[in-house]
Amino acid sequence: MSAQLAGTTPIEADNTPFSDYENDAGSELSTQSLTSSIRAHVYENGRRYHLKSAHKNYMPIDETEQDRLDLAHHIFCMIRGGAIYMAPISDDDLSNVLDAGTGTGIWALDFGDLHPGSQVIGLDLVPIQPSWTYPNIKFECDDLEKEWTYKPDFFQYIHSRTLATSIRDWPRYLGQCFKHTAPGGYIEVVEAMVGQLRCDDDTYDGTPLHKYIEKFRECLVKSGVPVNINGDYIKRCVEGAGYKDVYVEATRVPWGPWPKSPLAKRIGAINQLNLETGLEAYALGVFTAFGGMTKEDAKKLIADAFKDIASRKVHAYSYVWNVIGKKPEAASE
């Protein structure tokens, strides 16, 4: 992990003339979508949504979004120095693993490949996972906010990532995680900043990107999505569920290739590719449903916001938090 991205010192911007670096970044980033046929979907605003989630988190499930999710997985790995998890788990006792909110299943596939002795379950509300898989991995469809059907104390490790726009009751969700974590097992919750950005200079205020974020936040509140999710809040919820030795790792992710640091610039360039479709994926549904905007007006704001990111003139970044906790071995621990 980059020390500069993990710290609090302002990220130094690169003031050198614009180059084709960002355009070249996509040459090695083409991803093969790992999708199966979608069994129940609707179309809104020209995007495909699953019937179960169309009015829950307003996120599309089409191939454009699936490719973006796979690219986002790559970014999460990059900010951890290539690792797909940070919890101090061991193969010695890792028989059952849950990937909660598995999405395309890419994390579960990577984890199952690295830990062939583990049985990995990837759980999601919608069936966009691949039809092929490794022998030690299976995908299931269910709602994480309903009562879980697994045995108590079943999983040695639970991985949960980017569910901020899907989970409405975090204490209840993490309480279920705790119930189904084996004594001595770990949970790792990975969440990114939602409806907020940070900037260490004056390049962000009043820009179309700023207006996009403010409108997005307003619409999320109206839709019932909690917008104050951050590392400290998740830590309190994880501790409240009963986990011990809880700690938070915070990392900054640049929105665009504006930093001077080569690694931060690289991460920002890949994040720009992610946001090229991600801005619309996150906001188009809520803009039209809760923001009083037409599809055309919403797309105009989204396009203008992305121009800010591509320009390298707006030095914005967001946070990603890894919150890790351990279930006590016994009641006295």
Q: Which amino acid is at 99?
A: D
pLDDT in tens, 91-141: 888 999 999 999 999 999 999 999 999 999 999 988 889 999 999 999 999
Tokens of 175: 């309480």
Q: Which residue has the tokens 């039809």?
A: 131
Tokens of 105: 């299943």
Contact 159, 100 (CB under 8 A): yes
Contact 94, 156 (CB under 8 A): yes
How would you label 182-204 residue by residue, b for 16+ Cβ within 10 Å and e otherwise?
beebbbbbbbbbbbebebbeebb
Q: List the beta bridge partners of residue 250.
A: 321
267/74 Cα distance (integer angstroms): 10
Given this model, what pLDDT does residue 205 score? Answer: 97
Given this model, what pLDDT does residue 5 score? Answer: 77
Contact 246, 325 (CB under 8 A): yes
- Give me the CATH code for the 3-326 domain, please: 3.40.50.150
Tokens of 61: 């499930």
Given this model, what pLDDT does residue 127 score? Answer: 86
20/18 Cα distance (integer angstroms): 7
Given this model, what pLDDT does residue 49 score? Answer: 66
What does the domain layout of the chain look like in residue ranges?
A: 3-326
* Residue-by-residue DSSP string for 80-95: TTT-S--S---GGG-S
Given this model, what pLDDT does residue 34 score? Answer: 29
The beta strand positions in 166-234, using DSSP E, are 181-192, 198-199
Q: pLDDT truncated to tens, each residue of the chain (333 aa)?
A: 655 677 677 888 877 655 444 444 433 332 233 233 335 666 676 666 666 544 456 788 789 999 999 999 999 999 999 999 999 998 888 999 999 999 999 999 999 999 999 999 999 988 889 999 999 999 999 999 999 999 999 999 999 999 998 899 999 999 999 999 999 999 999 999 999 999 999 999 999 999 999 999 999 999 988 888 999 999 999 999 999 999 999 999 999 999 999 999 999 999 999 999 999 999 999 999 999 999 999 999 999 999 999 999 999 999 999 999 999 997 545
236/52 Cα distance (integer angstroms): 30
Give, as one character, the DSSP assignment of residue 94.
-
Q: Comparing C-alpha atoms, which of 263, 236, 233, 269 is closest to residue 251?
A: 263
Q: Which residues are CB-contacts of 241 (< 8 A; sequence separation ≥ 6)?
A: 171, 174, 175, 177, 178, 325
Given this model, what pLDDT does residue 58 score? Answer: 78
